């Protein structure tokens, strides 16, 4: 077998055989297939697609490239959630302790942000002392003693995906449904969760811009999970508008704690409860009431124990950016659009995200939104507050915000999109 013949098969719109797929994933993981060859193959897959058999085999080969975790020693059923990524998507933070408070164990392997979407680990790292990197034994211990753990995937889990994802990120080949589906599902299946709820984002701030593409991604991932014995369900949710009223690391932790304290923005609370219900149902936990567990403080108790078990101080002051800049509403009326992509890019430019994998992020940087679509705004009153430690970034961030919102005349009939679409 050689890489050139595999690339030619897909370049010429052929089907890759099981043997070709197994060989190319294994050889790439071992360094025998070069990055430039794998990027040519990834581009051929992006342009010409893969059928269900090819995607299933590709996923199985990526799982087989590393170790598999096993949570069968736990006394509770396991449930995990994966979001395909968005702006202001802090849902994992309140959701993991909430589902644990309701009786399931939540092994949540999460990622860092890259580009305009935020990453759960970057957010949690704004809590003084909190550690994302745990050994497998530490992860199991935190999960067993608190009911939930949020940490980085170890190097041993689907190493083929780790290499391939970094390559796709710099070769314009992230947005291929077969590659996204196999990337996400190889990690989730190798992680060993018994059930999985997928939050497939749709809209300007998401990888999937249309509902049709989101449906295809969702059904491909549900099929992969089900074939590997993981009870998998998917919700399609809105990402045309950012979630909640903040985008940025410490800003989002603060908002998540508000949700755990029984408050917080309505859309974040609604999606957290909807996903919790799906996770508990998929895990077979009956008679739990996530709304009650938010209101009575039991989810907050799990959060505090989970943060402390990973070295964090749940009572510590969160970092605040050194500089703020307020954008005021240019007219009065009804806010009819607040674009998730533009807000995500602006937060990233302020320092909340990174341009290269090795870049540091600013814990306090990001954007506070003072109104969401459907709200009334008043000329001259604050619409957005920008936060950064490096004020020379304000101009660059403001360029992204110039066309990020629309305001219609007062009294305009407008209904905001629902959070859960399907």
Active site residues: 82, 161, 168, 183, 187
Judged by CB under 6 A, does residue 46 bind ligand URA? Answer: no
Sheet holding 333-338, edge to edge: 376-377, 333-338, 405-408
Task: Report which residue's Cβ sits closest to ligand URA.
Answer: 183
Q: How far is the CB of 168 from ligand URA (least distance, A)?
A: 7
Residue 15 to residue 23: CA distance in whole angstroms: 15
CB of residue 120 vs ligand URA: minimum separation in angstroms? Answer: 12
Crossing angle of helices 394-401 and 340-347, rounded to 10°: 180
Binding positions for ligand URA, 215-244, rule CB under 6 A: none
Q: Please state, in angstroms and rounded to a whole number, the distance separating the CA atoms of residues 365 and 324.
A: 9
Closest approach, Cβ 108 to ligand URA, in A, equals 13
Angle between helices 52-64 and 159-169 (to 10 degrees): 120
Binding residues for ligand URA restricted to 117-176, rule: CB under 6 A: 165, 174
Of 62 and 401, which CB lies nearer to ligand URA in the complex structure? 62
Any idea what the Cα angle at residue 93 is, between residues 197 and 139, rounded to 5°? 80
Positions in 266-325 near ligand URA (CB under 6 A): none
For 91, other C-beta atoms within 10 Å of its C-beta total 27
Torsion of CA 344, 346, 352, 355, to 10 degrees: 90
Residues 6+ apart with CB under 8 A from 100: 106, 146, 147, 148, 299, 302, 306
Cα–Cα dist 167/190, whole Å: 21
Look up residue 238 and give its DSSP letter: E
**66, 77, 85, 242: residue in contact with ligand URA (rule CB under 6 A):** 85
As measured in angstroms, the least distance from the Cβ of 176 to ligand URA is 8
Query: Which secondary structure element, helix H or strand E, spans residue 106, and what is its range?
Result: strand 106-110
**CB-nearer residue toward ligand URA: 165 or 394:** 165
- CB–CB of 211/248 below 8 Å? no
Query: H helices then E strands: how many in the chain?
Result: 16, 12
Residue (142 or 179) nearer to ligand URA, CB:
179
As measured in angstroms, the least distance from the Cβ of 379 to ligand URA is: 40
Q: Which is nearer to ligand URA, 200 or 299 (CB)?
A: 200
**# of chain residues touching ligand URA (CB under 6 A):** 8
Task: Kindly tell me which of 179 and 253 has the beta carbon lying closer to ligand URA.
Answer: 179
CB of 161 to ligand URA, least distance (A): 7
The pattern of x and - marking residues 179 through 218 that bind ligand URA according to CB under 6 A reads xx--xx----------------------------------
Which C-beta is closer to ligand URA: that of 174 or that of 416?
Answer: 174
**In the complex, which residues of this chain contact ligand URA (CB under 6 A)?**
84-85, 165, 174, 179-180, 183-184
């Amino acid at each position: 077998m050689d890489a050139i013949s595999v690339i030619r098969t897909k370049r010429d719109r052929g089907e890759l055989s099981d043997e070709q797929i197994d060989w190319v994933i294994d050889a790439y993981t071992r360094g025998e297939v070069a990055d430039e060859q794998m990027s040519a193959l990834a581009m051929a897959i992006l342009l010409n697609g893969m059928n269900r058999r090819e995607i299933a085999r590709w996923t199985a080969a990526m799982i087989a490239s590393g170790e598999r975790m096993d949570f069968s020693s736990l006394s509770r059923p396991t449930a995990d959630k994966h979001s395909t990524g968005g702006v202001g998507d802090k849902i994992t933070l309140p959701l993991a302790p909430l589902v644990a408070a309701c009786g399931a164990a939540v092994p949540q392997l999460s990622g860092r942000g890259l580009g305009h979407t935020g990453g759960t680990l970057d957010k949690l790292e704004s809590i003084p002392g909190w550690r994302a990197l745990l050994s497998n034994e530490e992860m199991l211990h935190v999960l067993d003693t608190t009911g939930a753990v949020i940490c980085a995937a170890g190097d041993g889990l689907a190493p083929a995906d780790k290499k391939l994802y970094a390559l796709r990120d710099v070769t314009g080949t992230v947005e291929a449904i077969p590659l996204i589906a196999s990337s996400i599902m190889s990690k989730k299946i190798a992680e060993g969760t018994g059930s999985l709820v997928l939050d497939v984002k749709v809209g300007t701030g998401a990888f999937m811009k249309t509902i049709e593409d989101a449906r295809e991604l969702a059904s491909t991932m549900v099929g992969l999970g089900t074939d590997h014995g993981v009870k998998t369900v998917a919700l399609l949710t809105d990402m045309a508008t950012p979630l909640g009223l903040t985008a940025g690391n410490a800003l989002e932790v603060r908002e998540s704690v508000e949700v755990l304290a029984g408050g917080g923005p309505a859309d974040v609370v609604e999606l957290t409860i909807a996903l919790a219900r799906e996770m508990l149902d998929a895990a077979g936990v009956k008679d739990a009431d996530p709304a009650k567990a938010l209101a009575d403080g039991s989810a907050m108790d799990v959060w505090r124990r989970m943060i402390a078990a990973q070295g964090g101080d749940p009572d510590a002051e969160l970092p605040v950016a050194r500089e703020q800049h307020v954008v005021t509403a240019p007219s009065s009326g009804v806010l009819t659009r607040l674009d998730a992509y533009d807000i995500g890019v602006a937060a990233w430019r302020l320092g909340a995200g990174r341009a290269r994998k090795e870049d540091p992020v600013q814990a306090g940087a990001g954007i506070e939104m003072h109104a969401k679509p459907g709200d009334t705004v008043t000329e001259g009153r604050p619409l957005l507050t920008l936060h950064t430690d490096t004020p020379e970034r304000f101009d660059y961030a403001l360029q992204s915000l110039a066309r990020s919102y629309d305001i219609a005349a007062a009294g305009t009939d407008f209904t905001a999109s629902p959070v859960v679409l399907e």
